[in-house]
Amino acid sequence: MKNSAPIGFLDSGIGGSTVLTKTLALLPNENYVFFSDSANCPYGDKSDEEIIERCDKIVSLLINDYNCKAIVIACNTASAKASAYLRKKYSLPIIAIEPAYKMVYDRNPDGFTLVMATNGTLESEKFHKLYYKYNNHKTALIACVGLADIIEHGTKAELSDYLDKTLDEYKGKAQNVVLGCTHYPLAKKEIKNVLGDVEFFDGANGVSRQLKRVLDEKDLLSDSKEKGNVTFIDSSLDGKVREEKKNRFFKIISEEHI
Ligand code: DGL
């Protein structure tokens, strides 16, 4: 395996760009291939079998067509449902993400906490284990059905409307907000508009550090002194949609404030 081989990222859409942004800051000289499965977005309410089948196809493409040296599942739902299967099937390093609930336990366990995530993530065994281990007994779990879809395809007005309806009862009460879906950091501003001043927690930095550790351990870190490149692939059959996704994706990863 060559050290200059790219790292494959996958998500149901462009949400995983919020993870890649952090990884680029940590490992700028790596090459990346990002797969956005927008033809099948959202993953949040799909069955385990459907998600495993999609992820298997994507990982196999990232390995066979792009020669990726490692995979980052930049999607909480796919991580919860498919990471065990993928790790059993493929021998390359596979890094998964989970809602940053342990971070709350480490930093502000006394604060009232919202965990926002998809249905798929919240119902998963992987999340149950995490939740019962670090439960602060001041937590509301919010299955944000349809939110990733609105962030992916909707308007600003639809987004504000959705968040108003879903979060209004926690206004002035929530202190910690776990963004348990990689799309949600794209709505931080709108979430704050409803909840006021809250602290956000997400797993993007942790995943990036874990990726660096694993590549280092396996002697797979790039030895290039130059900035690497990023390739974007989207599964939509509609060329116009693919172009729009691509533009939005590159805009997000060029913004450092996420
Ligand atoms: N971005 C994803 C996640 O982190 C998936 C959202 C969806 O497709 O429902 O869970």
- Tell me the per-residue pLDDT of 194-251, one tens digit each, with 9 for 90 and over: 999 999 999 999 999 999 999 999 999 999 999 999 999 999 999 999 999 999 999 9
pLDDT at 57: 98
Nearest atom within ligand 1 for CA of residue 15: 1
Nearest atom within ligand 1 for CA of residue 181: 4
pLDDT at 2: 82
Beta-carbon contacts of 166 under 8 Å, excluding residues fewer than 6 positions away, are 142, 144, 147
pLDDT at 60: 98
- Please state, as a whole number, how many other Cβ atoms lie within 10 Å of the Cβ of residue 52: 19
* Substitution candidate for ligand 1 out of 35, 40, 183 with most atoms within 8 A of CB: 183
Starting at the edge strand found earlier in the chain, the sheet holding 94-96 runs: 94-96, 70-73, 7-11, 32-36, 230-234
Calculate how far, in angstroms, residue 143's C-alpha sits from the geometric centre of ligand 1: 12
Is the C-beta atom of 76 inside 6 A of ligand 1? yes
Euclidean distance between the first and the last CA atom of the chain, given in angstroms as a whole number? 32
Is the C-beta atom of 21 inside 6 A of ligand 1? no
Q: Are 131 and 101 in contact (CB under 8 A)?
A: yes
Nearest protein CA to atom 8 of ligand 1, as residue: 42
Is the C-beta atom of 151 inside 6 A of ligand 1? no
pLDDT at 256: 64
pLDDT at 255: 84
Q: Are 133 and 106 in contact (CB under 8 A)?
A: no
- Stretches where the chain sits below pLDDT 70 are 1, 256-258
Nearest atom within ligand 1 for CA of residue 182: 4
Q: Are 42 and 13 in contact (CB under 8 A)?
A: yes
Nearest atom within ligand 1 for CA of residue 42: 8
Is the C-beta atom of 77 inside 6 A of ligand 1? yes
Token representation of residue 208? 């990036």
Calculate how far, in angstroms, residue 226's C-alpha sits from the geometric centre of ligand 1: 32
Told to judge if 41 belongs to the known catalytic residues of this protein, a careful annotator would answer no
Q: What is the mean pLDDT of the chain?
A: 96
Is the C-beta atom of 75 inside 6 A of ligand 1? yes
Give the predicted TM-score (pTM) of the model.
0.96
Q: E strand or H helix at 201, and its extent?
A: strand 199-201
Nearest protein CA to atom 9 of ligand 1, as residue: 44
